[in-house]
Amino acid sequence: MMGLEWLRPGAFFGSMLYALIGVLVFWVCFVIVDKLTPYDLWNEIVEKKNLALAIVVGAMCIAIGLIVAAAVHG
């Protein structure tokens, strides 16, 4: 039974810290990938409506998120 175990301050703030670290690692990875591509991802996706690139970037975001989640979870 789960109960209110997750409301302990140590567990709660530990979860918040891991979530923050995960988001920061994801953001850094995305910025690195954005810098490695030969064009501006935001301009291509939003301004030029490049659907194929949007799908590739979305898949990349899911993959990075899975890797970060696996690394944080252990």
Domain with 50 in it: 16-73
CA-closest candidate to residue 41, choices 21, 67, 61, 64: 61
Whether 2 maps to a domain, the answer reads no
* Average of per-residue pLDDT values in the chain: 84
Give the mean model confidence (pLDDT) for residues 6-19: 80
Is the pLDDT reported for residue 3 higher than 70?
A: no
72: helix, coil or strand? Answer: helix
At residue 46 the predicted structure's pLDDT band, cuts being 50, 70 and 90, is very high
Query: Per the domain annotation, does 31 fall within a domain?
Result: yes
Residue 11 belongs to a domain: no
65 inside domain? yes
Mean pLDDT of the region 38-60: 90
Position 8 in a domain: no
Number of structural domains, the chain?
1
Residue 1 domain-assigned?
no
Say what the pLDDT of residue 6 is: 63
Residue 23 lies in a domain: yes
The predicted-structure confidence for 48-57, as pLDDT tens digits, reads as follows: 999 999 999 8
